[in-house]
Amino acid sequence: MKSAIIAGLLALGCGVAQADNCSRSLDYILDGSAGDLPQPAASYRNLLNACLQALTLSNVKDAYVLKDGGIAVIPKSEAVVATATTLAQFCENFPRGTLRFVSKREMRNGASTGLIVSLSSGGFTSCREIHGGR
């Protein structure tokens, strides 16, 4: 399974080091380190694809799968235009997804995989809301 993931990452053109946090966060969630799961395990496996594709967006430095079913990204730039463009691109590809930006302040507080995975995407607008509930 891991060799298939690595091969897929190379085919996508993203570095294994970057994509490692997508698979690392998924492993953290599925091995029980994140506690009880609010969704079935299969739904988290499906989120891996969204996480990997988020890495290909121009303003994304790194990405993680969140325990609550969202995707967290560390942006290269926190400028409004840059984050709005990233959100629009993500929502075009994943109209039912939720993208959560991890701020520089949150990163300064020592954002480990465990802490990022536990971040809530609940306060962030879902792509479904952006698209008018479609």
| Tens-place pLDDT, residues 81-105 | 999 999 999 999 999 999 999 988 8
Are 63 and 74 spatial neighbours (Cβ–Cβ below 8 Å)? yes
Determine the distance from the C-alpha atom of residue 105 to the mean position of all C-alpha atoms in its chain, rounded to a whole number.
18
- What are the pLDDT digits (tens) for 35-65? 777 888 888 888 999 999 999 999 999 999 9
- What is the residue-averaged pLDDT of the chain? 82
- Percentage, residues of the chain above pLDDT 90: 46
pTM over 0.85: no
Sheet with 99-101, strands from edge to edge, namely 60-65, 71-75, 99-101
**CA separation for the pair 11, 53 (Å, rounded):** 12
Amino acid at 46: N
pLDDT for res 40: 83
Query: What is the pLDDT, as a whole number, of residue 65?
Result: 95
Numbers of helices and strands, H then E, in the chain? 7, 3
Greater confidence (12 vs 122) lies with 122
Reported confidence tier of residue 114, pLDDT bands at 50, 70, 90 = confident
Q: For residue range 14-32, what is the model confidence (pLDDT) as tens digits?
A: 444 455 899 999 999 988 8
Question: What is the count of structural domains for the chain?
Answer: 1
